[in-house]
Amino acid sequence: MSRELTREEPNYFGAGPALLPTEVLQTAAYDLLNFNSVGLGIGEISHRSGPATEVINSTKQHFKDLLDIPDTHEVFFMQGGGTSGFSSIATNLAAAYLKKTGKPGKAGYVITGTWSKKSYEEAVRLGVDSVVVCDAKKLNGSFGDIPSVEKWSIPDLKDTSYVYFCDNETVNGIEFPDFPFEKFPDVEIVADMSSNILSKKLDISKYGLIMAGAQKNVGLAGISIYIIKKSLLEQPSDAEIKAAGIPLPPIAFHYPTVVANNSAYNTIPIFTLHIVDLVLQSLLKKGGITFQQELNEKKAKLLYETLDAYPTIFNLPVAKAVRSKMNVVFTLKDTSLDSEFLKQGEANKLTGLKGHRSVGGMRASLYNAVSLKSVELLVAYIKTFAESHK
């Protein structure tokens, strides 16, 4: 039985794996059968073949084009997602600092939600000397706001190997509205942008490293993107790292090795990377980051204003100044209505609205692939639901 490569456009607000543009999936489906007329599917070719190398290089170049990445930084890809990402960051950045200074340093962590907390805990578990620069929950009582930098515990910057933060917390619906590290001169700033990469303009020169799992805003699960300052790829020998008491990263996650092999030291998932490249090409055709940021701001403004208009029905736990434009979290004042809200939403073909299991409530993720039309449909449903429950 033949099946057409079409679908009704979904109104899906899941936090990840997330929605992808239909035209990207259609192209990828054909390429999975026969890529560039080579007679093999994109998932069947060798990761070191000419066609695969072209995919890697094309994806790197399109990231550079979209984000205006300077020559001081390198782009590479690895298997895994955010969790493998923050694990690899701890060991690789510790080694890079040892190479630069000849001594071990301390990693600083800004904890503003679930994922930055997990990142800090993993660094400690691995044995990387780490300190908490800011714990929003301890300072505020909850992960509902980002404390001002004046309240942070600024470490001795002469001994700080890097400072890590999660730019957008998917579970808690918090996003940094600007770059808060001007008081950290000469310290490498590391950002997890798994859920908001390519959603807004960035000054890449301010970052030592940006890491992003692809499955939320740019592709399928299974691959992660790294934009790293080239000087951070210099590491001591394994013997020197061991002697300093720093744990070694597994070879498949050893940044200098991965970069030296053009992201193909081990078997990179080329099909998954190809989808990332198709997403980048689609974004470039639509107008790039400027276009996407304006659209994302419009979508978020529309949804937040609608929820704010019904304060007796909905509660928004995040301070307005740090509300995420990617993950809008909210709860119903009457939690007994939760299942009704979700069930009626699904009846209106609005899916993926259930909040993270650790916090409950609702979450509407407005990633790049979520259309303005989908948000307008969600807003219309929210208004109807709220009016009927006043």
pLDDT tens-digit profile of 249-272?
999 999 999 999 999 999 999 999
238 has catalytic annotation: no
Of all residues in the chain, what percent carry a pLDDT higher than 70? 99
Q: Residue 347 is encoded by which pair of tokens?
A: 């009846």
Residue 195 lies in a domain: yes
For residues 220 and 348, membership in a common domain is answered with no
For residues 169 and 206, membership in a common domain is answered with yes
pLDDT tens-digit profile of 369-385?
999 999 999 999 999 99
383 has catalytic annotation: no
Residue 185 lies in a domain: yes
For residues 373 and 246, membership in a common domain is answered with no
For residues 201 and 308, membership in a common domain is answered with no
For residues 187 and 250, membership in a common domain is answered with yes
pLDDT score recorded for residue 2:
52
For residues 270 and 338, membership in a common domain is answered with no
pLDDT tens-digit profile of 170-218?
999 999 999 999 889 889 999 999 999 999 999 999 999 999 999 999 9
pLDDT score recorded for residue 4:
76
For residues 302 and 276, membership in a common domain is answered with no
- 373: helix, coil or strand? helix
pTM for this prediction: 0.96
Cα torsion through 77, 83, 87, 89, rounded to 10: 50
pLDDT at 314 over 80: yes
Residue 257 lies in a domain: yes
Whether the Cβ atoms of residue 204 and residue 230 lie closer than 8 Å to each other: no
- Give me the catalytic one of 31, 135, 145, 192: 192
For residues 146 and 92, membership in a common domain is answered with yes
Summary mean pLDDT of the chain: 96
How much is the average pLDDT of 98-109? 97
CA distance 341 to 230: 49
Domain with 82 in it: 33-283
DSSP code string of 318-350: S-GGGB-SSEEEEEESSGGGHHHHHHHHHHTTE
pLDDT at 222 over 90: yes
How much is the average pLDDT of 206-235? 97
How much is the average pLDDT of 27-53? 93
- Find the CATH number of the domain harbouring 369: 3.90.1150.10
CA distance 167 to 172: 12
- Give me the catalytic one of 115, 117, 299, 354: 115
pLDDT score recorded for residue 207:
98
How much is the average pLDDT of 15-30? 94
How much is the average pLDDT of 105-114? 97
For residues 326 and 339, membership in a common domain is answered with yes
Total structural domains within the chain: 2
pLDDT score recorded for residue 357:
84
pLDDT at 1 over 80: no
pLDDT tens-digit profile of 276-310?
999 999 999 999 999 999 999 999 999 999 999 99
Whether the Cβ atoms of residue 183 and residue 51 lie closer than 8 Å to each other: no
- Give me the catalytic one of 60, 117, 200, 216: 216
115 has catalytic annotation: yes
